[in-house]
Amino acid sequence: MSQNADIIIIGGGVIGCSTAYNLARLGAGRVALLERGDICSGGTAKSCAIVRTHYSIETNLNHAVESLKIFRDFDQIIGGDAGWQRTGYLILGPEAHRAPMLAVFARQNARGIDTRVLSPAEAAEMHPLLNFSDAEVIGYDSQAGYADPYLTTTSYARRAKELGVAIHTDATVTGLRAAGGLTTVATSRGDFTAPHVVLAAGPWTNRLAADLGLSFPYEISRHKVITLKIARPYEKTWPIVKDLTTPDKIYFRPDSGGVVLIGTGDHGDPIDDADTLTDAIDEAHLERIGNLIAHRMPPFADAQYVAGWTGPYDIAADWNPIVGAVPGYDGLYVAVGFSGHGFKLAPTIGEALAQTILGQEVRVPIADYGLDRFAAGHALHGAYGIGSIS
């Protein structure tokens, strides 16, 4: 049986759910969201959910700043709990990063985000375990923090449903067919047809797009996250640390249970299919990250491994999101390629995509994220090179 909608969203991660909520809030009509598993069962479930605004690329900076305002006041603005925890964010870098850091700080400060360079003594007051001996510059973003990816995504989904979105879980999309200005989406729960379709299936997006003869310029990689503990609890108010002096560009933050959670901002391990991902963490990774952490926080020389998991990055050709209408495909929209930084941008990406689909004024523009930027020679390159801190 075919079910009609005005807009179909494929993917119930944080991007699809934010888009669904914003479409409903802005009066979109009949919106259907199709998710093959449960809400928040893809890449978002594995996210470290760090929310900071330090970006050298203007569009990233704008979305990060405006999305941060939503995370901070999630219950008032969206309704529900995002699990927001403000901690601040320390960036440790080599001297070469001082100039770009100061340039970004000036733009963050102009937007009301208090940032500055700290002395090692000032930084040590915020985080007593850190060794700053080889950190030539220490930046501080006072407004950053982290959220809970599951709470955030399910809150968006619940609010979307309350506003009339039809959310179909266990609805695996098996094919797409476009004809006569309509796209038919075949699923394990029957066909859905609409004039507007949003592809928000994270690393699985190209698998779906292939039916329409499309392939978006992103690759998939496997990213590992581990948690470690020592006898002393890792305080939940200690700032998140981004260590740009390490080859893996590690970052770490407090996690529940008094442990530290550590991820990497590097390229990860390339994979062809996100469904082949397992949560196994190899010994070599544990040893390498363990050594980097022990150097940065000497009390962690005797740390105990607590848990580890992996998650897929959908890394765009220039490490920046691909969002908006798909040129040459009437009524087709995409939001993919978030390259390890999609969680923090999701509130305003969903808003801007909804406004674009509805032909409304876009409050936080996404034009720079268009797919056509690659062919036009306008790929987005940040001051820190590739990686999720562009």
Ligand X SMILES: Cc1cc2nc3c(=O)[nH]c(=O)nc-3n(C[C@H](O)[C@H](O)[C@H](O)COP(=O)(O)OP(=O)(O)OC[C@H]3O[C@@H](n4cnc5c(N)ncnc54)[C@H](O)[C@@H]3O)c2cc1C
- Contacts with ligand X by CB under 6 A lie at 10-16, 34-37, 41-44, 46-50, 172-173, 200-202, 204, 208, 223, 225, 263, 311-313, 338, 340-344
Q: Which is nearer to ligand X, 118 or 336 (CB)?
A: 336
- In a 10 Å sphere around its CB, with 0-12 CB exposed, 13-18 middle and 19+ buried, how is residue 134 labelled? exposed
Least distance in Å: CB of 188 to ligand X? 8
Alpha helices in the chain (DSSP H): 14-25, 58-72, 74-77, 98-110, 120-126, 149-162, 205-209, 283-296, 342-357
Using the minimum distance from each CB to ligand X, give the nearer residue, 99 or 369.
369
C-alpha separations of 323 from 97, 280, 287 in Å: 29, 32, 38
Closest separation between CB of residue 251 and ligand X, Å? 7
Min dist. Cβ of residue 17 to ligand X (A): 7
**Ramachandran quadrant class, 80 (left: phi over 0; alpha: psi -120 to 50; beta: rest):** left
Q: CA 144, 147, 151 angle in degrees (round to 5)?
A: 160
Indicate the residue among 22 and 44 with the shorter CB distance to ligand X. 44
Cβ–Cβ < 8 Å for 246, 292? yes
The least CB distance from residue 48 to ligand X, in Å, is: 4
Q: Name which of 137 and 201 has its Cβ closer to ligand X.
A: 201
CB of 231 to ligand X, least distance (A): 27
Q: How far is the CB of 95 from ligand X (least distance, A)?
A: 26
229 vs 341, beta carbon nearer ligand X: 341
- Of 27 and 37, nearer to ligand X (C-beta) is 37
Cβ neighbors of 20 (< 8 A, separation 6 or more) are 9, 31, 33, 156, 157, 160, 165, 167, 350
